[in-house]
Amino acid sequence: MDIFGDSEEEDNNPFSGTNHLYASGIAAVENGEDDFIPKGFMEDEPLVNSNSANQDDDQDNDQDDYQNDEEGEEQGLLIDHEEQEQQRGEQEEEEEERSGTTLSDTTTQFEPYVSLTMSMANNVDHSTSFEADKDIQVIDAGEYKDPWGKRAIGYSLRFQGQDVIRRYSEFDTLRQALVRLLPTVVVPPIPFKHPLIKYFLSPLSVENDSKTIEKRKRMFSSFLNNCIKVPEIRDHIVFKKFLDPEYAWKNVLSSPPIVILPVNNLLAPPLNPTKPSPLHLLLPGPISISRLDSSAHSGTSLEVETQFAHLEALFKKSKEVYQPLHRIIKQHRSHFHDLSSFFAELGAYYNAFSLEDNVIANARSMLQIKSLSNGIEKIGHGFDVNYVSSEILVDNLLSLFEEPLGEILQFLDDAARILQFRKLKQMQYQIIEHTISKRENRARSLQESQTQLKRLENVLQKNAQESPTIAEAVKHIENSMHEGVTLPQPQTSEEQSNKPLLEGYSQNYHQNNQKNASSASSVLTGVPHAKLRRTRRARSKELEPHQLTETERQDEIQKLHKEIDKLNECFKLVSRDIDEVNRSSLESLQRLARYINDKWEFMLKNFAKSMVNWLSECLKAWKNARSVVDAIES
């Protein structure tokens, strides 16, 4: 599809690259065609249009046709040029009232306006309905020059009367954009890029390989038509711009919504990733599902979870079956191609041999040798038919079986991406749920510890009022804390009898076996010991509740309550996201399962038809050859 040809003369043609009448030059226009004069205008019969009347000058006569838009009644007035001026005034009011058509309306069709865009070319029928043009056609492929002056292989697409040329790289970026924009929808696949080995073997011709271009034409057509069958893709603005010739794809890639996509779709709404809420930025972003607990609750009902498990098992089993089958089909196609080459060689030998018999024939054996040559020629013809039929079968195996099977495998890979995204969302759910539980347990532990220590403080104060010895010990502890010295070692028998009360509490709550003096000082004074002075963050991670002061415990409890409130909001958000992911993913995966079943049925039927046609053609050729051979005179 080199619209510029081998010369550079057409570079100045303003209609190049469009489907305008003069796109290939004025010389390419057939006689009688003109972009400004409709077909039939110069013929004897008048051209009747449903929207306006056309004027036709045939020697001395002018013809005016007026269309009644309200009642659908047509009037054709064939008048002489001299009488036209006299009758125009009499019929002007009547025609304006009945048809509402004026002279200016009738001449609008012949205005010398030429659109330079593909979508508004004059020779395009814009009355075509969507039902008639619901399929996207890849009508041509070849080298073209893009607006930036680069030459590349382009694929001409036609949809609803509009033609647009797109490169392979543009198809690739379109699919990547759709995958990021629709993380819960299975996006149809496109053909793979050229393998590196091809660039080493044929670096100059790899881009212009006709077989590769034809294969890509078929697969791009399948990709686009599969896309318009998916409502989420068909209605997306990016896909619409891809089919619109008015948009340069490079500009689409550098504009919203593609440029505002998040780096990680887990940190955005699954159905609208370009509009994340502030809470989405607080969510965890797991990259692996190795720690996913499949037995734990993940915000999904048992029925939905069962449906996903069934689909995942179905896709996994299908992939295990289709992968070796795809490899076997490729091998069989290669073998059939080799077989057809042998048939072609045999046919050539037999045809040459039949001619040699005619050379060595003499007058006496002419009739016998002629019949023998006809028999040999028919055998060669049979091998030729086998060759042609086998080549057709090879092409059918490629286009009707191998390519669709490879496409199904790519679909299954994309389905695995959807299932992986859903499991990562479940991982998000479990992480937040576990974090909330951990924070609540920590806050509950701090609160219980605070209550127990308050009760212990009340008991000590009550005993201090009743016993002067205990009061003196408590006072001594307070003084030692202010002075930064350790507790006195000598103790009276009364102090020793009260010591088990502190030690008993310490044994229950002090897991690190701290000294009684440090515990009592923290409870009574609220001033941290110099040896326990650390940052609040380190205390919340490393220290048990009894090792914190009352102020630190209160601060941490308040902080934990704020975190829990924020985590609960995130938990509600993730729960809503999981519901959306489940609904959208389940619909997309079920659609894929139906597509695979229908596609597989279509492939088997067409494969059977191809085999029957191949066998029928070969059988017919060999029956003809046998009839001729049987008629050879001995």
pLDDT of 354 reads 84
The answer to whether the beta carbons of residues 570 and 283 sit under 8 Å apart is yes
Low-confidence ranges of the chain (pLDDT < 70): 1-134, 195-208, 357-365, 464-468, 470-471, 473-542, 633-634
Alpha-helical segments (H) within 99-189 = 103-106, 168-181
pLDDT of 584 reads 97
Residue with tokens 């890029």: 193
pLDDT of 404 reads 95
- Whether cis (ω within 30° of 0) applies to the bond prior to 203 is no
pLDDT of 561 reads 93
Q: Please, what is the Cα angle at 245 between 241 and 247, to 5 degrees?
A: 50
Q: What are phi and psi of 554, to 5 degrees?
A: -65, -45
- Of 262, 223, 250, 281, nearest to 410 by C-alpha is 223
Calpha distance 501→347 (Å, rounded):
110
Calpha distance 224→164 (Å, rounded):
13
- Of 430, 461, 467, 476, nearest to 578 by C-alpha is 430
- Of 578, 595, 580, nearest to 311 by C-alpha is 595
- Of 254, 252, 274, 256, nearest to 265 by C-alpha is 274
pLDDT of 23 reads 52
Domains with residue ranges and CATH for the chain: 37-110 (no CATH), 137-261 (3.30.1520.10), 313-437+567-630 (1.20.1270.60), 453-545 (no CATH)
pLDDT of 331 reads 94
pLDDT of 478 reads 56
| Residues whose CB falls within 8 Å of the CB of residue 51, separated by 6 or more in sequence, listed in order | 67, 69
Q: What are phi and psi of 597, to 5 degrees?
A: -65, -45
Q: In what helix (H) or strand (E) does residue 605 lie, and over which residues does it extend? A: helix 550-630
- Whether cis (ω within 30° of 0) applies to the bond prior to 257 is yes
Calpha distance 12→16 (Å, rounded):
8
pTM: 0.66
CA atoms within 13 A on the CB side of 29: 14
- Largest distance between two CA atoms of the chain: 153
pLDDT of 515 reads 40
Q: Which residues pair with 154 in a beta bridge?
A: 142, 167
pLDDT of 462 reads 75
pLDDT of 415 reads 97
Calpha distance 313→412 (Å, rounded):
12
pLDDT of 517 reads 37
| Residues whose CB falls within 8 Å of the CB of residue 240, separated by 6 or more in sequence, listed in order | none
Burial class (CB within 10 angstroms; exposed 0-12, middle 13-18, buried 19+) of 222: buried
pLDDT of 379 reads 93
The answer to whether the beta carbons of residues 351 and 377 sit under 8 Å apart is yes
pLDDT in tens, 280-317: 999 999 998 888 888 777 778 889 999 999 999 999 99
pLDDT of 457 reads 75
Q: In what helix (H) or strand (E) does residue 212 lie, and over which residues does it extend? A: helix 210-228
Burial class (CB within 10 angstroms; exposed 0-12, middle 13-18, buried 19+) of 427: buried
- Give Cα separations from 479 to 462, 499, 527 (angstroms): 19, 19, 12
CA 401 to chain centre: 23
pLDDT of 33 reads 44
Q: In this structure, how many other beta carbons lie within 10 angstroms of the beta carbon of residue 206?
A: 15
pLDDT of 501 reads 30
Radius of gyration from C-alpha coordinates of the chain: 43
The answer to whether the beta carbons of residues 578 and 298 sit under 8 Å apart is yes
